[in-house]
Amino acid sequence: MEKLKISLNEVQSPQCQYFVVRKKRLCRMTVRPGRQYCGEHEPEPKLDDGQADTRIPCPNDPKHTCYISKLQKHLSICNARQGELPPYIVKGINAGSSSEGCPRPLLSEVPKEMMEQLVEKVNRLYDKYVKDNISTVEEQPIHPIVLEDYEQGDRTESSRRHLQQASSLLRLAEQEGLVRDRTCYVELGAGKGHMSYYAWRAWCEPVSRASGVLLVDRASLRHKRDNKLRDVAYTSARNQAQEASTEDTLLPTDNSQNRTVSSSSETTATREELPDKSIPESSNGTSHVFKHKADLAKTTNGEVYANANAETSSTEAPIRLRADLADLALEKVPVVQECDGVVGFAKHLCGAATDFALRCITSEGLGDKTQGVVIATCCHHRCDPNSFFGLQHLYEMGITAEELGVLLGVVSWATCGDGRSRQRRLQDDQAANGQGEGEVLETKGYKLPQAVRESVGRRAKALLDWSRARRLRALGLPAALRRYVPAAASPENIAIVAVRRAR
């Protein structure tokens, strides 16, 4: 037994001995034999002149570092080095103009008079433009596609709220008539792909629809939902292919010989020789919309882009592109070129990403192919005035460039709580409705009660979304704002819905 323990210890890779104070444990990276620390925590070596050889962020991707003395060698082999971009990546194509000067001051530095004027203007513009243009979607049962996950016993309340939002967005798209054949459903800012998983199963699983889902996100995530859906798609397609093959190959029984006769040995062979994990064409002989599968191309400045080249069927799992929405020319993506219509959707697309996405889905190259969008917005404080999609319409409503910078801070009032720390809120839990201490958010002597601040913040958010909707209308996509779930499910409960009506 002792010999076995020794041999196992010898096999295990040595661990870095650097103590990470924040995590209160040793670094878990392995080290080379004979070394005590990993490359990140190795003490800085000395150069020939006796100076320390310091580590600097890599010019290609600042998420990792390298020694100054080895910079040139590192750049020649760095995985994030410059590479050839696929044709659908055009730097800054959806980033908007950077010529506008919109400063973002701290709210604590804004003069009291200016804050009073802005709050009054937000309330006035909301009543004039937005109040009658936000409709509340009638609450409905959980969508059948989402219901199985929703009813799992180990689900937390937070998880169920997310599923409720996904269900409402699915139903909203269906009610607006956006579920059509030969359509590419693009999830903009897909994240882990939960919405795409439900969208594919609800709208694309029948082979006859010839539709598919394209996921776009700039981050590299663990694609658990993608993998799960790939298995579901494969099983579904294989079952349908087997059913179709059975119908095609079996003729009525020959009574004289009491046996089953095959109509075509070629069809039988095709069924028997179907390779594992391949997806056949539909049973009616028509080819599917998607004939490409995303594989990784070279990386550029730390970003990995997908390259659609490999042959596959639309019934396979959704195609994922790793790309920044600010750089995506959607009309040049092969799977988009092959479909008849495009629908963009997203759940909680943060700040400026919403503006990039709206430019992406309404680009001139797509033309009338864009059938509509369903985007649940959030995090308006992360919007960039220079890339804001509805900037001109916001100015037309009476918001100046200087006020816009302050407005992008005021929107945080809707969800930032009452200004107290988490510990202080626990201490003050007995106070009536959180008032008293909760009234304090002061900007040079200007105070507002908690409830009023939240109301102003929500109205400011609605003004930004309404200006985006007006921009969509100007581009030929009649848009509206929908309150798609109750505030109890999410305080960020406004979705921009636009549908191109048949001419």
Instruction: Please tell me whether the overall predicted TM-score, pTM, comes out greater than 0.75 for this model.
Output: no
Q: How far apart are CA 13 and CA 400, in angstroms?
A: 61
CB 458 within 8 A of CB 415: no
Please give the full DSSP string across 22-88, using - where no structure is assigned. TTTEE---B--TT-SS-TTTSPPPB-TTS-B--EEE-SS-TTSEEEGGGHHHHHHH-TTS--PPPTT
The DSSP bridge pattern shows strands 183-188 and 341-350 to be parallel
Burial class (CB in 10 A: 0-12, 13-18, 19+), 264: exposed
Q: How far apart are CA 426 and CA 424, in angstroms?
A: 5
Asked if 16 contacts 38 with a C-beta cutoff of 8 angstroms, the reply is yes
Of the candidates 324, 86, 344, the residue with the CA atom closest to the CA atom of residue 213: 344
Task: Tell me which residue of 467, 194, 173, 209 sits closest to 344, measured CA to CA.
Answer: 173
Q: What residues have CB less than 8 Å from 353, skipping those under 6 apart?
A: 188, 189, 325
Rounded CA-CA distance 178/288 in Å is: 19
Tally of residues, the chain: 503
Tokens of 123: 């309330």
Backbone φ, ψ for residue 244 (5° rounding): -65, -40
Q: Identify the pLDDT of residue 33.
A: 87
Q: Phi/psi at 316 (nearest 5 deg)?
A: -75, 175
Contact between 184 and 199 (Cβ < 8 Å): no
Strands (E), 218-302: 293-300
In order along its 503 residues, the chain shows pLDDT tens digits of: 444 444 444 446 789 999 999 899 999 999 988 889 987 887 777 666 667 678 889 998 888 888 888 899 999 999 888 778 899 999 999 998 755 566 788 888 888 899 999 999 999 999 999 999 999 999 999 999 999 999 998 899 999 999 999 999 999 999 999 999 999 999 999 988 899 999 999 998 776 678 899 999 987 666 667 777 776 666 666 666 666 665 554 434 343 333 222 233 333 333 233 333 332 332 332 223 343 333 333 333 333 344 333 333 444 557 888 899 999 999 999 999 999 999 999 999 999 999 999 999 999 999 999 999 999 999 999 999 889 999 999 999 999 989 999 999 999 999 876 656 666 766 766 554 544 444 445 555 577 888 899 999 999 999 999 999 999 999 999 999 999 999 999 999 999 999 997 65
Give the HSE-up count for residue 65: Cα atoms under 13 Å, Cβ half-sphere: 13
